[in-house]
Amino acid sequence: MAPTIIHSVLLFDGTSVHHDATVSFDSSTGLIISVSKEKSGFPQGATVIDGNGHTLLPGLIESHMHVHGLHLPEGSDENDILRSPLRSGVTTVCDMHSDLGAVNKWRDRVAEELKQAKAGSTSVSLSDLKTALLGATIAGGWPGPIVLGPNPTDELKAYVSTWPTLTEENAAEFVKKHKAEGADYIKLMQENCCSLALPTDSIPSATLELQTAVVKAAHAESLPVVGHATSLGSTEIVLNAGADGLTHTFIDQAPPQSIIDLYKKTNAFVIPTLVVLSSLTGEFQEDRDRFADIAFKRGVVDQGTRQNMIESLSLKAPEAKMEYAFETIRKLKQEGIDVVAGTDAVAGLKGTGIGPSLWHELEWYVKKCGFSIPEALTSATATPARRFGFGDRGVVAEGKRADLVLVKGNVTEKLQSLWEGEGIVGVWKQGFKASG
C-alpha cells in the first residue's frame, strides 16, 4: 500500500514539540516510516495531507478503564466500549479488571477488524486493548462489594464467585496462569474502605505479605504490577509491596511527606483517576456536565452515556475530598514522580465515559495539578508506554506504531483544541484511518 504523509504539521512526539514536521507512515506494516521536514518528493500514489494549522500527536493511552459490560445500560451498543475511545483519539486502552471471556471477545473483534482493514476495508473503529485480566482478588474483598451492590442478582453472585482467591501459597500460580492467558500486567486490590461510604475495614483487606508475594511472582515473570488503593494506608501497603504503580491516588487525607518519600524510594508511578474520584466525592458537577455535553455533541457518545457521565457515584466518607487528590498529584509531579493518565472509566459507571473522560482528566492535570500542557500530553502518551513496557507506541518516531491523532489548532498551547472547534480531524491506528 502507498504511504500516508502528513507535512507542515506541528508535531508533539510524546515528549517534545517540533515545528513544520513531516510524518510518513504505512498501513501495510502499521509503522511510522520517517519523521522529517521534507515537503516534496513524496512517492507516487501517497496520500498527502497538508498539516498546516494542525497538531499531530501519538495516539492517546487511557491507562485505567474496564472493558467488561457489567454495568452497561440496557439498549446500549457495547461496541462503544472500544469505539468511543478511538473517536476521542485514544488508540490504546488499559483494562484493569475484566474476566478472560470479556477480554477475549474484544481481542477477537480487534483482530478481525484489523484483518478486514488489511484485506481492503481500509478503516478501523476500535481501540487497541491491553489488560490485567482479573485482579488479584481475595475472598470477600474489593471490588466485590461495589460490583454486587446492595441487592445483588444471582447472576452477579455467580460471576463474582469465579474471581481468583489469592493466598501467599497460590500467588505464583495465579501470575503464571495470567501470563499464559495474555495478561500485560498484574493488578493488586488493596481497599480498607476508609475513603468510601462504607465502614472502615468492613471488608477483608489483603496483607502486605500477600501483596509482596504477588509482586515478587509477577516480577519473576517480567510483568509490571499496579495496585488499587484509595486511602493513604492502602497506598503505603501497595508501595511497600514493591508495586510499579498505583491505579488511583488517595482522597482520605492530605499527603504527608512520608508518602512522597515512599514514592521516590520505590520509583512507583501513579494513575490519578481524578475523574472517577470526583464522581465518588460528588464534587465538580459543572465539569461532569460540560464534558458530557461536549462528548454528546461531538458524536463520541450516545444519549445514555451522556446521562451517565453527568451522574455521580457520591459514595465518599465524610472526610474525603478532591483537594487531597489534587495536592498529592501536585507534590508528586513536583518531585519528579511519573504521572500516568487514566480515569477508571467503565461503560455505565456514573460520572465516566470511556474516551472523553480522558479529556477531562488531562484538563484537570493542567488546571488543578500544575502541569504544563505538554506534560499533560506526555502523561497520556510516552510515559504510560514507558512505564508499562509498551515499547512500540506512545511516541512518534521511525519504526513505532502508526497510532496518530491529528487535531485542528495548536494543542500544545491550548489543550481544549482536542475537543473544541473542529477538534480531532483524523485518527489512525496502525496506519489505518479510524472510521467516524
Q: Tens digit of pLDDT for each residue in 334-382? A: 999 999 999 999 999 999 999 999 999 999 999 999 999 999 999 999 9
Dig out the grid coordinates for 311 from the structure: 451522574
Between CA 2 and CA 45 the distance in angstroms is 6
pLDDT for the residue 6: 98
What stretches in the chain show pLDDT beneath 70? 436
Between CA 54 and CA 38 the distance in angstroms is 17
Q: 373: which DSSP letter?
A: H
Q: Which of 81, 89, 42 is nearest to 353 (CA)?
A: 81
First-to-final CA distance of the chain? 22
Q: Which of 276, 257, 415 is nearest to 332 (CA)?
A: 257
Residues 6+ away with beta carbon under 8 Å from 201: 192, 193, 194
pLDDT for the residue 91: 98
The answer to pTM > 0.85 is yes
Between CA 151 and CA 415 the distance in angstroms is 42
Dig out the grid coordinates for 87 from the structure: 473517536
Domain 59-394 top-level CATH class: alpha beta
**Domain edges within the chain:** 59-394
Which helix or strand (DSSP H or E) is residue 177 part of?
A: helix 171-180
Whether 5 and 24 have beta carbons less than 8 Å apart is answered as yes
Virtual torsion, Cα 94, 96, 98, 103, nearest 10 deg? 20
pLDDT for the residue 397: 98
pLDDT per position as a tens digit, 116-144:
999 998 899 999 999 999 999 999 999 99
pLDDT for the residue 314: 94
Between CA 101 and CA 161 the distance in angstroms is 15
Work out the angle between the directed axes of helices 274-281 and 322-334 (0-180°, nearest 10): 160
